Amino acid sequence: MFFSSSVLRLILLLCLFSFSTASSSDSTSAEQTLRPQEEIQKLKLIREELKKINKPAVKTVQSSDGDTIDCVSTHQQPAFDHPLLKGQRPVDPPEIPKGFSKEEESYEEDSQLWSLSGESCPEGTIPIRRTTEQDMLRASSAGRFGRKLRRARRDSTSNGHEHAVGYVTGRQYYGAKASINVWSPRVTSQYEFSLSQIWVIAGSFTHDLNTIEAGWQISPELYGDTFPRFFTYWTSDAYRTTGCYNLLCSGFVQTNRRIAIGAAISPRSSYRGRQFDISLLIWKDPKHGHWWLQFGSGALVGYWPSFLFTHLKQHGSMVQFGGEIVNNRPGGSHTSTQMGSGHFAGEGFGKASYFRNLQIVDWDNTLIPASNLKMLADHPNCYDIRGGTNRVWGNYFYYGGPGKNPRCP
């Protein structure tokens, strides 16, 4: 049997990965025996998945952070592999919610590393971060690549997910908006992450949870580095079988040719230095019912078709803003993975990370302040949150923390 050099090279990588993660005890030595046929089958599955994810490129851009950005024809993006979207093209732009002001926004759409050199994709195409074999090898399985682990509500003691969030509930929500401070928190393990995002939620937290999510995240497992990256997510069944990050499955329909979902954000904030934030707006188009995403002062990124959801076909029942990390308890103690800036909320501006100008979209497609905001930090000695209101920032909060410390062993 003959294999190409690239195939043999990847088999070697797979073997090395298997060896490095195997137990060294004699009792499991038999299980460590490498099975070339199984590795070849795994490689075959990975390449089949890559064919689904990576589409033919009209143009390719090499980013300074190592990413390859493919400019893909809009109608060939992964979303249009969905049976209900095959043969279609993106819908017309929606009506912007009343009360939206471009003057409040400070971060424009040229805030991604790949486009800082002036590169962009041609008309009729969208930029997609290319997924590599190495990306998929880092995942727990090819089938779960690009998906969050299933988990319960915000109480994360059993599964390692920890939060510091502000949230509103008790009415019908048709969208949300916030400006999110961007940092580069330390993530200490490949299988942990740190993110800051908006959630629009409906359904129960057990089996039929619907979510729409967008923000920035650091995820070494997903991206292979520690850059903060713009991301999206969705699920319609509590993270079980539906949904994915970014454009890694059929779902989100991208319409913007300048913003790459999953690409690194630049610049980032610095402690006692300059502060940068990204403004995100998610809202339900009153005409067609799809959920749209806007970045910055008016750049439409794309939309989640309404048919992806059950409960969110109508409206959301909760909106959350804030941070989340994964704590794998290395060595039996709390992780040192940071949330936000890595500093507690009490340190304030220039030191702690913030969300500002928190708003929701009501039934009349109008942006209104997110009043009656409740705060929750499920491990406040590790990561905390403090809110407030003022004339410039409206409803806001500081949040985050260092993780492991004397009060968080």
Question: Which residues are the active-site residues?
Answer: 213, 324
Answer for the pair 316, 174: CB distance below 8 angstroms, yes or no: yes
Which residue has tokens 């009490």? 346
Which residue has tokens 């290395």? 330
Tokens of 217: 């995240």
Q: How far apart are CA 304 and CA 312, in angstroms?
A: 10
Answer for the pair 394, 372: CB distance below 8 angstroms, yes or no: no
Chain CA centroid to CA 305, Å = 18
Position 247, amino acid:
L
Task: Give me the residues paired with residue 324 across strands.
Answer: 163, 195
Task: Give me the residues paired with residue 196 across strands.
Answer: 216, 323
Q: How far apart are CA 51 and CA 333, in angstroms?
A: 41
Omega within 30 of 0 (cis) for the link into 267: yes
The total of other beta-carbon atoms located within 10 Å of residue 255's CB is 20
- Phi, psi angles (nearest 5°) of residue 365: 55, 45
Q: Pinpoint the alpha helices (H) of 225-312.
A: none
